[in-house]
Homo-oligomer: A and B are copies of this chain.
Amino acid sequence: MTVKGFKAAAIAAGLRYSERFDMGLIAADKPAAWAGVFTQSVCRAAPVIWSAAKAARGTGRAFLVNSGQSNAQTGKIGEEHCRMSAGSLSGLLHTTDDEIMLASTGIIGQPIKIEAMMAALPNLVAALRDTEQAFDDFSQAILTTDTRAKTASAEIELGGHKVSLWGCCKGSGMIAPNMATMLGFVLTDAAVAPELLQWLTKEGADLTFNRVSVDGDTSTNDSVMVMASGASGVTVEGGESLAAFKKAFFEVMKSLAVQIARDGEGATKLVTVRVRGAANDEEARKAARTVAESPLVKTAFHGCDANWGRICMAIGRSGAKFDPYAVDIDLDDVPWIRAGIDNGREEEATAVMQKKEYVVDINLGAGGCEYDIMTCDLSHEYVTINGSYRS
C-alpha cells in the first residue's frame, strides 16, 4: 500500500550491513502536518533532540532514518552529524533543515558513519517512489534485531472519499512501556491540523506502543513520527470524521504494537496482562507492569508452567494495595484463582499456557481502575541475542 502525497525509498549505505538496507527516507510532496512523541529517557539521542524540536513547528517534509548506529551519547559530534545530514537532505529536497525529522537505531555511543551517509543521500533521494515496493523497502531499512518487517494499514471512507493510513515500526528489544517506544512511522493522506495530529499521536502511543514490554528496558532513541499530507482532499476536524479517523489511526498503531510484542527478542508467546479492580490508575499500571516485566513470570510463560504463585509474588511487590485474599485471576476463560486461593484448574490453565497467545486477567478486588499491557516470554534465545548483539 501507498499513501497519497508521500514517496519512500531505502538504500544499502554500508552503515552496518553491506547487503541490506540501512537508510530509509519518507518525503511529502508538499509541506505536511506532522507530529511526534519521543523517549522520556534522560539520555536522549542526538536525532531525538533534533526531531522533538522540529516536531513542535507542526509541519514538515521528510523523515530520514538509519539503522546501524543510534547516534546516542555521541556529544557534539552527534549534533553535528544531525546538522550535516539534515542540511544535505534539505538541499536535495529543496526545503529547509527545519522540515526534516531524523531517527536512528543501532549501537549506542558510536558516531554515525557520516561519510557513508552523506555519500548515500543523493542516491536515496533519487530512489524516492510512490510505489508499494518503496514503502516496503523503507520498512526494511529501519530493522535491527527484528526478525521481520512490521507494517499496518487501513482505508476508511470519509464523506464519500477514501482516506488511507499506513505505518511501519521496528523494535524487539530495549522496549518498555511508559515511553514513546521504538521507532514508529505513520502516514495518512487525510488533512489534519498539527495540534490535532499531535494530540492523536500522543493519545494513540499511550494506548498502544506504550503498552508493550519486551524486557522493561527503554531506549535512548524511541520515537513515533506521523505525517498527514491532506492529498486525499478529506479534512479530519471533529465529529464523525474525527471518530472514524481516530479509530483507524489507533488500530494501525495497535497493530504495529502487537507486532512488536510478537517479535520480542526470543519471544515465543504474546501474553496480554490485564489488571482490573485496582484502587487507582497508577496502581493498576504498576501491578500490570510488574507482572509483565517479572523475569520469574516471563520464564514461567516460557516454560508453560501454570505457576500462579509467581503472579501473586509480582503483584504483591508492585506497590499496589489490595487484599491478597480478594484477588481473582483468570487465564483466558479458565477461573484459575478465586479469592487468592488455587481453584483446582491446573490442567486447564496449563493447556491455555501452551497456546501462542493468551490473556492473564487479574482482578485485585480493590476498586474500579484497570490497565492492560502486552508482553512476551523470556527465553534462552533472548539471552543468546543479547549476550552478543551490540545494541
Contact = CB atoms under 8 A, between A and B. Distances in A.
Secondary structure call for the A interface: loop
A340 interface: yes
Contacts of A322: 42
B217 A296 contact: yes
Given A74-B341, A215-B295, A296-B391, A174 B321 contact: no
Interface string A331-360: 000000001111000000000000000000
- Copies held by the complex: 2
A307 interface: yes
Contacts of A199: none
Contacts of A391: 296, 307, 309-310
B217 A299 contact: no
Interface string A213-243: 0011111100000000000000000000000
A215 B315 contact: no
A309 B108 contact: yes
Interface of A: 40-44, 70, 72-75, 107-110, 173-174, 176, 179, 215-220, 293-296, 299-300, 302-303, 305, 307-310, 312-317, 320-322, 324-325, 339-342, 378-380, 382-384, 386-388, 390-391
Given A110-B342, A295-B382, 17 more contacts: A42-B324, A43-B315, A43-B316, A73-B324, A108-B313, A109-B308, A216-B294, A216-B295, A217-B295, A217-B310, A220-B313, A295-B378, A303-B387, A305-B390, A309-B391, A310-B391, A380-B384
Q: Which 9 A-B pairs have the closest CB atoms?
A: A108-B309, A303-B387, A43-B316, A299-B386, A41-B316, A215-B295, A43-B324, A218-B317, A109-B309
